[in-house]
Structure 1
Amino acid sequence: MTIYLDNNATTALAPEVREAMLPHLFGPAANPSSPHGPGMAARLAVGEARAQIAALIGAKPADLVMTGSAAEATHAAILGALRTLEETDHSSHIVATAVEHPSTLALFEDLRQQGWRVTILPVNADGLPSLSDLAAVVTERTALVSMMWANNETGVLMPVAGASAIAHAHGALFHTDAAQAAGRVPVDCGIADYLTLSAHKMHGPKGVGALYVRKGAPFRPLVHGHQERRRRGGTENVPGIVGFGAAASLAALWMDEGDPGGELVAFLRDRLEAGILARWPGAQVNGGRVARLPNTTNIRFADGRGRPVDAEELLTRLDRAGIAVSMGAACSSGGNEPSHVLTAMGLSGAEASASLRFSLSRYSTAAEIDAVLGELPALHARLVAA
């Protein structure tokens, strides 16, 4: 049985979510846009789920646009805003941080090639951008600032409230990717003009995301159609959206009553982190000195002489032992390049490639953490013996 500690890549579907989805997977076929009874039932189910998702971030249901993924939601927010601004003012500048999700950085690079002036803010050794640096580059020509709520590789919580205030003080729009944060820490949409969400990061189904668009914020759809208040064409994914709603409702209950503030998950994360550091001399936590998601730790491994260990080999050996972890963002796996997040934090390529991410969920147990720690002494002996 696999011990799954790669929950920032994706999470297991919660049993309650699966039960909520089943009637819409195997029940009567119905398009929410159809005027008959089954269609109206599907439309009501989508509306209820939209309200559940909105409640998680303090939004109104009408402010949400359902999408096929968090990446689509982010692209829709940024492109939907910029396409409108191109027609209404002379703003030509956009800002993001160096540790954004790879798909977001790819979009900004594409915009750069289209003629937009793009500023990528550096981060310090803890993975945090400087708000004073942001204030120094934002001007009245800045159209939009984008900063993720929590980093997917290190779990570091970003200064989104301060960044939003700086952007708005100069008349710029503010977008935040809260895909990793929502359902794990409190997220309030009130600071943002656009906010990205993902179902499968909170024990919901894959293939469905959501975009919060503040009322009055400029927005043009990427896909035209009458659905989603004409903001995203295409027949709604009813089972996926219903599952997203159930997952959001479950996450809210968990944060309010089951594990307020993620204290139990953080306790297990800290137990794992401390145990690794005790059993692997020379190991260090990347981003461990600042506030992080309660479920995430990113650890750099070294041998007895302080030289970086091949984390890919360590990952493979853990996998053989039935322990699933990762080297970083799943969407960037498969390449030979070190993590852009860790190198932005000042690590060398070798140090970044010696790092593994462990990400827990509300279903992680103390027994699993102890089992992982029990494997480490033998792995340490094999990989550092020289």
Structure 2
Amino acid sequence: MADPVYLDHNATAPVRPEAARAVAEALAEVGNASSVHRFGRGARRRLEDAREAVAALVGARASQVIFTGGGTEANNLALRGLAGARPLVSAGEHDCVLRARDDAESIPLTADGRTDLDALQAMLADDARPAVVSIMLANNETGVLNDVARAAGIAHAAGALVHCDAVQAPGKIAVDVRDLGVDLLTLSAHKIGGPQGVGALVIPGEVSLTKLMGGGGQERGYRPGTENVAAAAGFGVAAEMAGRETLDHVAAWRDRLEREVRTMAPQAVIHGGDAPRLPTTSCIGLPGVNAETQVMALDLAGVAVSSGSACSSGKVHPSHVLKAMGLDEDAAGEAIRVSLGWTSREADVDRFLDAWGKLARRHAPEHAA
């Protein structure tokens, strides 16, 4: 078999060699970043250099970046840290946002996968309680982009705060927290080629959060405990590299992939295809063929794709995102996600099309009859 093809960047991107080296170099040095001797100061310097790089990736200041153990922790800190605010959460959010608060109210999606901002405005008008609105910048399953700046304007006019899970966007599109106008922004290292297990919550405004853990004063007291300097160093290097590159060329590959999919199987559906999207992501539905069958067949052909969120690993089930877009249970369970990234080549698209075409022909309506 030819070398396997990795088309699941939205789940986790391959680690950049430069980021891996930064992690290894940090691990080779001793020192607690809270210690005042030279070893501690060296660790602190690595940590703060990384903070500067992560901040620069999204147009923030270093003092506004809180390192966390990943995007999930950052999302929970944002929403659970505002326990007194009424949570309004877009129906297409990642599970770690949807489940952060038991009292969350769902903002519906439009049929093309975007958060319904008219519905948001009505929900805010119907209840005068202080609120926090959580709306992702780019959907992890469909790649659909939300108009976060407009959502922030609507929310702020009603006196609400805005949290944005932006983990899928940096390195694929330009992200600037000032242009988005949000109060809290979540990032994750492993989505941009950094190590797993480290993320950040960016707090550009004067927002006071309730701490989730007790302990020391690290990370402004919001994330007490000895800092993971090595992971942060890798995050910083990945952020520097992601900030310098563009994946605009990948959009042409994605578009060709979708054209040829429709040619090979006219019954195929590109979910969210009519909305603004990341240049890297395609959510493809093949009527009559469940997602698990597709993912397994492609894996046997040496092509790695996914169905839904990687956080439900081993549990292929109908996408809550597609159901929120109005699809029924069957259609929502027939979609796979193809996500390209910084290591992708056009030849990877060719490999996918060859394997998926064979799958589609085996399950073509006339063949099944």
- 1:103 partnered with 2:96: yes
Contact conserved, 1:102 with 1:332, CA < 8 A, in 2? no
Q: Deviations over 1:53-104 (max 9, x none)?
A: 000111110111100010100111112223xxx3xxxxx5221111111111
In structure 1, the residue matched to 2:9 is 7
- 1:189 partnered with 2:177: yes
The number of residues matched between the two structures is 359
Contact conserved, 1:265 with 1:362, CA < 8 A, in 2? no
1:371, distance to aligned residue in structure 2 (A): 1.7
In structure 2, the residue matched to 1:237 is 228
Normalised TM-score (structure 1): 0.90
In structure 2, distance between residues paired with 1:94 and 1:285: 31
Counterpart of 2:151 (choices 163, 181, 201) is 163
In structure 1, the residue matched to 2:44 is 43
Instruction: Give ranges in structure 2 of 5+ residues lacking alignment.
Output: none
Amino acid at match of 1:194: L
- 1:283 partnered with 2:268: yes
Kindly, what percent of the aligned residue pairs are identical? 44
- 1:366 partnered with 2:346: yes
In structure 1, distance between residues paired with 2:313 and 2:324: 17
Counterpart of 1:198 (choices 183, 188, 196) is 188
Counterpart of 1:172 (choices 145, 156, 160) is 160
Q: Describe how 1:205-284 pairs up with structure 2 within 5 A.
A: 205-224=195-214, 225-254=216-245, 259=246, 262-284=247-269
Q: Deviations over 1:118-139 (max 9, x none)?
A: 4211112101122221111114
In structure 2, the residue matched to 1:89 is none
Q: Deviations over 1:26-61 (max 9, x none)?
A: x12211111221111010010001000000111110
Instruction: Give ranges in structure 1 of 5+ residues lacking alignment.
Output: 87-91, 113-117, 303-307
Contact conserved, 1:123 with 1:345, CA < 8 A, in 2? yes
In structure 2, distance between residues paired with 1:11 and 1:287: 22
Normalised TM-score (structure 2): 0.94
SS at match of 1:149: coil
- 1:67 partnered with 2:52: no
Counterpart of 2:116 (choices 90, 112, 130) is 130
- 1:119 partnered with 2:105: yes
Q: Describe how 1:140-155 pairs up with structure 2 within 5 A.
A: 140-155=128-143
Contact conserved, 2:92 with 2:115, CA < 8 A, in 1? no
Amino acid at match of 2:145: L
Contact conserved, 1:77 with 1:219, CA < 8 A, in 2? yes
Q: Describe how 1:9-24 pairs up with structure 2 within 5 A.
A: 9-24=11-26
1:336, distance to aligned residue in structure 2 (A): 5.4
In structure 2, distance between residues paired with 1:43 and 1:65: 14
- 1:29 partnered with 2:14: no
1:3, distance to aligned residue in structure 2 (A): 0.4
Counterpart of 2:313 (choices 333, 342, 345) is 333
Amino acid at match of 2:220: R
1:222, distance to aligned residue in structure 2 (A): 1.2
CA RMSD of aligned residues (A): 1.4
Amino acid at match of 2:273: G
Q: Deviations over 1:139-169 (max 9, x none)?
A: 4313211111110000000121111111111
SS at match of 2:284: strand
